[in-house]
Chains A and B, each alone.
Chain A
């Protein structure tokens, strides 16, 4: 049992989280309090939800750089709907998911039909949509959300002492389960891994690669739409200038969590741990009372160390596998 856990690909990153947490705890014992972890969770679920979308794209060997524009667009729509219409929560979520899904559809079509590399297609779509949103909104903030939505944003479940579950975390868990289910228990999910492993083989085995690819970007869009609503509930307002560059944060989370930019590899558990590491890192640097001028340097070093350690341990694992000549049917999750 223990051996199995140690063997898991996610173990290296889990170890990193523990080591880092220990160091911070020594420097400031407040770090270990439950309330702090609740805050870390609430502060990072938005990145986490987006990372699930990115995870699926990365597994398929693609990349989605339209993330900033997509979440900006949906956030603005979410804010406008809240302020100007009497729609309730679920219709709003639905609209946002559909809108962001449509952006994903555009990505998918450009990638499959116009055969643009994902990097280029999503980069272009990002600058076009971001430009349009900022041009029409003039970047102005949307505030004055209805009372019920604000109450919803600060809702906490299972309150016991310092422990509680912010409502946003519930959405995160739902997103995690959906992603897990889709990847592990649907034909589409197996298709994602197949396409990421080798598109030609996937086509030969009978997967409709184009269809799967389009669906992947639509799925990524869905997650962005959901993230937009969740983020609006955290921030209690919409600021269209918030999201430039968020794509890199999200990609880092997924890759730190073991997803490969070359495709074929990646897991929900890893992405969850990746989100946790980034969250703990940001929180820990302040908790450990480290000067702001050093935080970026440490951030860079930790990213490099985390990914390097992961890669080195995987290489060792592979070398061992080859040596013992065990078959390669290792679980992906």
Chain B
């Protein structure tokens, strides 16, 4: 019986501690060492009650008209989606809505669907998801719709008829073409051999950009020659680095590399820096301004192209709020705290053209 009791106690401790930390969201609370947990169990229980109280307040808030908006990235813990999260949370504070920003720790569509289902049950007013896979979201979006929840996609479109709005950082085609224009600009000529290093072979948005780009290149720059299939780097800088070293040796005639995903261009640039081929091989790709500065400075990365992720997060929350207030989307309409938006079709919002980052 003692054992059962001890199991009980530990479990209560673990759960309440974790719950309390999550509710309070103050890392300090979490540092309570496990050994003290026994004594802390009572405190934890108190904390848990507080959390429960908070929750009640939150619900009461909702009745006052505070909207609860769930924003889900593809995964947590990578710089890009941390920045979008900061933007989203900032928007929550400034616009007076409750923003939940959470997602799986692996880029897995199955986990996203589960978490979305849980959110639907937790009573959010709007959901915005950056799907790891567009097709997989259809059934869960239908469930959300049935529950009367406003549904958006952001970052990567679901291409579903169900979404009330689709917030896109850029037009996929524009970005796909821009990267090739940049490549040609850096190479200084419209012909030559190039390679593609991508995040993963099954990453839908990267594949879209690559497809748009290669189609465009076939028309606009027929002299460009892709030496081999796109090379995957599993979103790991080390992989992109070693594979670029190998690429350059396998294809000595290489004159340009395009890196897709926010990690791959950095690994590519690092290999180019090490080889000292900054002037011989043009490197362009999608990377955040902050991460690419270092490589831009010596020309190992020539042009990085992206958008401000924090603004994307902000815009998504803004649009969700506008929809919750019953506004209809119109081209040029003002989004609180963001400015006017560009509308494509009925419900596709384009944040703006991508930004090019070059050496300062």
Q: Which residues of B contact A136 (CB under 8 A)?
A: 27
Interface residue? B53 (CB, 8 A): no
Report whether B236 and A242 are in contact in the complex, using a CB–CB cutoff of 8 Å: yes
Choose the segment among B135-143, B173-181, B239-247, B308-316 that binds chain A (4+ C-beta atoms closer than 8 Å): B239-247
Within 8 Å of chain A (Cβ to Cβ): is B91?
A: no
Q: Is the CB of A138 within 8 A of B231?
A: no
> Which of chain B's residues has its CB closest to A46's CB?
B238
Evaluate contact between A143 and B291: CB separation under 8 angstroms.
yes
Interface string of A248-274 (1 = CB under 8 A from B): 000000000000000000000000000
Which has the most chain B C-beta neighbours within 10 Å: A44, A141, A237?
Answer: A141
Given contacts A134-B76, A134-B77, A286-B231, contact A143 B242 (CB under 8 A): no
Stretch of A35-43, A179-187, A194-202, A312-320 with 4 or more beta carbons under 8 angstroms from chain B: A35-43
Decide yes or no: A292 and B242 within 8 Å by CB, A33-B249, A144-B294, A241-B77 being known contacts.
no
How near does chain B come to A149, taking the closest CB pair, in angstroms?
Answer: 13
Indicate if the CB atoms of B238 and A139 lie closer than 8 Å.
Answer: no
Indicate the member of B241, B250, B251, B274 with the most A CB atoms within 10 Å. Answer: B250
A90 contacts chain B at the CB level, 8 A cutoff: no
Asked whether, in the complex, the Cβ of A292 is within 8 Å of the Cβ of B228, the reply is yes
CB distance from A51 to the nearest CB of B (A): 15
Of A5-13, A53-61, A115-123, A228-236, the one with at least 4 CB within 8 A of chain B: A228-236
Q: Is A154 an interface residue when CB atoms closer than 8 A count as contact?
A: yes
Given A36-B249, A139-B79, A286-B250, decide whether A134 and B105 contact each other with a Cβ distance below 8 A: yes
Query: CB-nearest residue of chain B relative to A241?
Result: B78
User: What residues of A have a CB within 8 angstroms of the CB of B247 in the complex?
Assistant: 286
Asked if A30 is at the interface (CB within 8 A of a chain B CB), the reply is: yes
Chain B 65-86 near chain A by CB (<8 Å), digits 1 or 0: 0000000000011110010000
Which chain B residue shows the least CB distance to A153?
B274
- Assuming the contacts A286-B250, A292-B201, asked whether A43 and B245 have C-beta atoms less than 8 A apart, the reply is yes
Contacts of A235 in B (CB 8 A): 237-238, 241, 270
| CA gap between A112 and B140 in the complex, in Å | 46
* Inter-chain contact B249/A289, CB cutoff 8 Å: no
Residues of A within 8 A of B291 (CB): 141, 143
Q: When the two chains form their complex, are residues B245 and A138 in contact, meaning their CB atoms are under 8 A apart?
A: no
Partner of A35 from the list B82, B235, B249 (CB cut-off 8 Å) is B249
Find out whether the CB atom of B229 lies under 8 angstroms from the CB atom of A291: yes
Query: Given A140-B79, A234-B238, do A287 and B249 touch, yes or no (CB 8 Å)?
Result: yes
CB of A279, distance to nearest CB on chain B (Å)? 9
A39 touches B246 (CB 8 A): yes
Could you tell me if B249 and A39 are in contact, using CB atoms closer than 8 angstroms? Answer: yes
Cα A239 to Cα B228 with chains together (Å): 28
Selected from B237, B246, B266, B293, the residue in CB contact (under 8 A) with A286 is B246
Query: Across the A-B interface, how many residue pairs have beta carbons closer than 8 Å?
Result: 92
Question: Considering only CB atoms and an 8 Å cut-off, how many residues of chain A contact the other chain?
Answer: 39
Find out whether the CB atom of A138 lies under 8 angstroms from the CB atom of B82: yes
Min CB gap A323→B, angstroms = 46
Residue of B27, B237, B247, B251 most packed against chain A (CB within 10 A): B237
A43 touches B242 (CB 8 A): yes
- B77 contacts A282, CB within 8 Å? no
Q: Within the complex, which residue of B76, B77, B231, B245 is in contact with A39, where a contact is CB–CB below 8 Å?
A: B245
Contacting residues, chain A, for B82 (C-beta < 8 A): 138-140
- With beta carbons under 8 angstroms apart, the residue of A144, A286, A291 that contacts B243 is A286
- The answer, yes or no, to whether B332 is at the interface (CB within 8 Å) is no
A28 within 8 A of B: yes
- Pair A30/B237 contact, Cβ less than 8 Å: no
Asked if A241 and B246 sit within 8 Å, CB to CB, the answer is no
Closest chain B CB from A224 CB (angstroms) = 15
Say whether B263 contacts A292, CB under 8 Å: no
**Distance in Å: Cβ of B192 to nearest Cβ of chain A:** 18
A101: Cβ under 8 A from any B Cβ: no
| Residues from chain A with Cβ under 8 Å of B236 in the complex | 239, 241-242
8 closest A-B pairs by CB: A139-B77, A43-B242, A286-B246, A134-B77, A292-B229, A291-B229, A138-B82, A287-B250
Question: 10 more A-B contacts (CB under 8 A) besides A36-B249, A293-B201?
Answer: A28-B250, A30-B252, A39-B246, A136-B27, A139-B82, A154-B274, A241-B236, A286-B247, A288-B250, A292-B229
8 residue pairs bridging A and B, Cβ less than 8 Å apart: A36-B249, A44-B242, A135-B27, A241-B263, A242-B237, A242-B238, A286-B231, A292-B229
